[in-house]
Chain A
Amino acid sequence: MCTSGPDPTGLDQDVVLASRFSLGEKLFILTLETREMFSRVQPGQFVLLRTAAGLDPLLGRPFAICGQEGNRIEIIVAVAGRGTRLLADSALGVRLSLRGPLGNGFPESTKSRTHCLAGAVGIAPFLLARQQNGESEIHLGVPGQDWEPLVNWVSERIHGLHVYSEDGKLGNRGNPLLCLDGLDPRSDVVWACGPTGMLKAVSAVCGKRQIAAWVSLETRMACGMGGCHGCVVQTVDGPKKTCTDGPVFHSQEVLWNAS
């Protein structure tokens, strides 16, 4: 199948897998060379990526952009199923189909300090944030020692990274929510990205303490551009699309208990 025709929306393009760095059997950093240079990507924006050959898988998989330089972007791929496995196993130099950049990233804040809370590969947008602006405090939580390669790789890029693990074998014992205790609602803002349970907990604490918090949500997607209504989340203002209204939402906007 040919997917190389010029796409008149400018959203779809073929990219080349320029490098792959392994952080274990199921975790990879992929560098993609884009034909068209992206304008400045906001932390939290994402791409849909699929192997270009064949019709199965049919849909692109969403990944947050974690680095941008010239016409290269970087993503972290945790192998979760067939689509991510195929992407992770792709040969260097191969063409992949990309749609993006998509969605709205974390909003710039007038508050003096941004605290980024990441659960495992949820670190991706904050790597980009740090690349663009060295100011934020970044807290990374991982399930356990298996994640040491990710922690080491991130630590090299983010000086002053705060690390947490449940068993305390990597960094502090516990999870990034611990940092919320010391925050001041007048001067601090929280950005969070990771598993839904973590985001819900961040929202609960920040709601109670009136700390402004923004969260990046994960939902299944088909089109990524607001056409299919497949990625809807329930909010206080009614249903919203994760792909075009999000993926970043104000934590108090999300109805966490609606399915």
Chain B
Amino acid sequence: MPVDRKGSEVFVGKVALRSPLIIASGTWPHGPEYWRSPVTTGVGAACTKALTLHPRTGNPGIRVWETPCGLLNSIGLQNPGLEQFLMIDLPSLSSGDVEVVVNVAMETEEETGKVLAALSEKQHLLGAVELNISCPNVDGGGMAWGSDPVQAARAIRIARGNWKGPLWAKLTPQCGDISLVARAAEDAGADALVVANTWLGMAIDTNSGTPVFSRKYAGLSGPAVFPLSLRLVWEVSSAVGIPVIGCGGVSRVEDVLSMMLAGASAVEIGTFHFTDLSCFSRIEEGFLEYLSVKGYASAMELIGRGKRKVD
């Protein structure tokens, strides 16, 4: 029997998503067939690979390394740049049936300004911009923007000045007290916060005796980090009034429910779909079943409910 998927709709501010599940940036192919039914069953939105003004070739050497229940990556924002993205990628991605969230890597003020000004011309094709102030795998910019409240606020203000549509800021765990960064991003005009990007880690190849990655450190993701991300979601959603999107290690319906009970309005999944492509449709089905068994009329009723009894 076909599953009735109504009822899992959520709102991230003004952005309506037919499901709370979002495909995390940098993990999903840009081929148009991956952005439409049937592949997108269970998916509410999908984030593009990080976009920069000019093409980037990414990092040399080994880029992915499995860890127990996790994955270290050092991709380095490889992407074809704004011109090709606008000409080839965006028209085909936006012809699909999920909201397109364009992940914009924060570079210099001038570069990011140009990218966002160009995206503004195509605002009708986008659900939101996800401003990446949290990439651990590049020098200059990247995570440095998100690592303290002053820099984060500056980045958001630059973005806000060039993009009037929904603006999500993707935070990094590498930032001291994340609630301070979160509040600064809210005050500077972010519409929602994505919590969070990868955790800085490392691997050493014991055969060669040297670090695996050319940049030594790399970003850890996947089920291994889930409890860490959940704690951040709880903290951030307690600190701000804007919606929070949970991200990091989600692999089961229980993880989605936990993130939402902790205060997330929606949840991103990246690494786990490398393991199991059916996760979106399967998790959404489990999610709907939970709502029905527990007697919730809408997914929105779940958001932050875990806090009411505790905080």
Decide if A226 is an interface residue (CB 8 Å cutoff). Answer: yes
Q: Mark contacts of A124-150 with chain B using CB atoms, 8 A cut-off: 1 yes-contact digit, 0 otherwise.
A: 000000000000000000000000000
**Those of B52-68 within 8 Å (CB) of chain A:** 57-58, 60-66, 68
Q: How far is the CA of A6 from the CA of B279 in the complex (A)?
A: 9
Other-chain contact of A50, B75, B222, B275 (Cβ < 8 Å)? B275
Q: Mark contacts of B33-71 with chain A using CB atoms, 8 A cut-off: 1 yes-contact digit, 0 otherwise.
A: 010011111000000010000000110111111101111
Known: A59-B274, A223-B274. A232 touches B78 (CB 8 A): yes
B78 touches A58 (CB 8 A): no
Query: Which of A50, A57, A232 has the most chain B CB atoms inside 10 A of its CB?
Result: A232
Decide if A238 is an interface residue (CB 8 Å cutoff). Answer: yes
A7 touches B277 (CB 8 A): yes
Query: Which of A1, A5, A59, A225 has the most chain B CB atoms inside 10 A of its CB?
Result: A5
The interface residues of chain B, by DSSP majority, are classed as loop
Known: A58-B222, A229-B58. A3 touches B27 (CB 8 A): no
Decide if B19 is an interface residue (CB 8 Å cutoff). Answer: no
Q: How far is the CA of A258 from the CA of B37 in the complex (A)?
A: 39
Decide if B252 is an interface residue (CB 8 Å cutoff). Answer: yes
A97 touches B49 (CB 8 A): no
Q: How far is the CA of A59 from the CA of B191 in the complex (A)?
A: 35
Q: How many residues of B contact A (CB 8 A)?
A: 44
Decide if B14 is an interface residue (CB 8 Å cutoff). Answer: no
Decide if B298 is an interface residue (CB 8 Å cutoff). Answer: no
A259 touches B214 (CB 8 A): yes
Contacts of B276 in A (CB 8 A): 3, 7, 12, 97
Known: A221-B64, A227-B27. A58 touches B271 (CB 8 A): yes
Decide if B103 is an interface residue (CB 8 Å cutoff). Answer: no
Contacts of A5 in B (CB 8 A): 278, 281-282, 285
Decide if B85 is an interface residue (CB 8 Å cutoff). Answer: no
Decide if B29 is an interface residue (CB 8 Å cutoff). Answer: yes
Decide if A179 is an interface residue (CB 8 Å cutoff). Answer: no
Contacts of B251 in A (CB 8 A): 1, 55
Decide if A195 is an interface residue (CB 8 Å cutoff). Answer: no
Other-chain contact of A229, B69, B78, B273 (Cβ < 8 Å)? B78
Decide if B227 is an interface residue (CB 8 Å cutoff). Answer: no
Contacts of B26 in A (CB 8 A): 228-229
B73 touches A58 (CB 8 A): no
Taking beta carbons and an 8 Å cutoff, which residues of B are in contact with A? 26-31, 34, 37-41, 49, 57-58, 60-66, 68-71, 73, 75, 78, 214, 222-223, 251-252, 271, 273-278, 281-282, 285
- Other A-B pairs beyond A227-B34, A228-B73, A229-B58, 12, CB < 8 Å: A5-B278, A7-B278, A8-B38, A8-B278, A55-B69, A55-B251, A227-B27, A229-B63, A231-B64, A238-B57, A239-B78, A244-B29
